Chains A and B, each alone.
Chain A
Amino acid sequence: GAVVSQHPSRVICKSGTSVKIECRSLDFQATTMFWYRQFPKKSLMLMATSNEGSKATYEQGVEKDKFLINHASLTLSTLTVTSAHPEDSSFYICSAQTSHGTESGYTFGSGTRLTVV
């Protein structure tokens, strides 16, 4: 089946530094990928839609200058958390639609647990 690979799985960084998270579609091309954030015991919250070759679309309340999204190829999207602070500590998950224009739904990455100290 379709696989979305997400790295790193865990990262600890110091406050004020930046962290990059990668999301790759391994055996299919994804023109659109999605980034979610999940706080403990809460549901997934959509942060942004990442479009290959164009600017990402951010959900209301998500700072685009803080969460930089780059989708430079059909198989790779990256999320960079800039100037991270402890409140950015969360579980970040990406997903991609496996088949264009069908009802097949999305495949999710395994997630990245970010801890800012």
Chain B
Amino acid sequence: DAKTTQPPSMDCAEGRAANLPCNHSTISGNEYVYWYRQIHSQGPQYIIHGLKNNETNEMASLIITEDRKSSTLILPHATLRDTAVYYCIVRVVYNNNDMRFGAGTRLTVKP
């Protein structure tokens, strides 16, 4: 699977949008972009995923550039409970292949 690059940490003010970037310049055409987050001492939580179109769900929006070499996860109105480590993962989707994590971005939402 392609590797990803994320900033190690970011801060965001409560109520503002949090924009988390991810660089995946070596992504292949059949690889999806996934975002997970991990709140302290818990298992990772699925947020969103996409292939090439922008995606939105109740938690976040995912913006993927046209060349698919980078993406941005947007939390539209960050709350204190969104403080977590956010992982961007690219992977080929086929039966039972594993999911590997990079270092992620530690997002701190401040009051």
Contact = CB atoms under 8 A, between A and B. Distances in A.
B93 interface: yes
Contact of B44 (A6, A44, A46): A44
A14 interface: no
Top 7 A-B residue pairs of the complex, sorted by shortest distance between their CB atoms:
A108-B43, A32-B96, A44-B101, A103-B93, A101-B95, A43-B101, A108-B44
Nearest to A103: B93
Q: Is the interface of A mostly helix, strand, loop or mixed?
A: strand
Given A101-B94, A105-B34, A43 B102 contact: yes
B42 A110 contact: yes
A93 B44 CA distance: 9
B100 A109 contact: no
Interface residues of B, number: 24
A43 B104 contact: yes
A75 interface: no
B49 to A, nearest CB: 6
B103 interface: yes
Interface of B: 32, 34, 36, 38, 41-46, 49, 51, 87, 93-96, 98-104
B46 A100 contact: no
B95 A106 contact: no
A32 B99 CA distance: 12
A111 B43 contact: yes
Contacts of B103: 43
21 contacts: A4-B43, A6-B43, A32-B96, A43-B87, A43-B101, A45-B101, A46-B99, A91-B41, A93-B44, A95-B44, A97-B96, A100-B95, A101-B94, A102-B93, A105-B99, A106-B46, A106-B99, A108-B36, A109-B43, A111-B41, A111-B43
Contacts of B102: 43
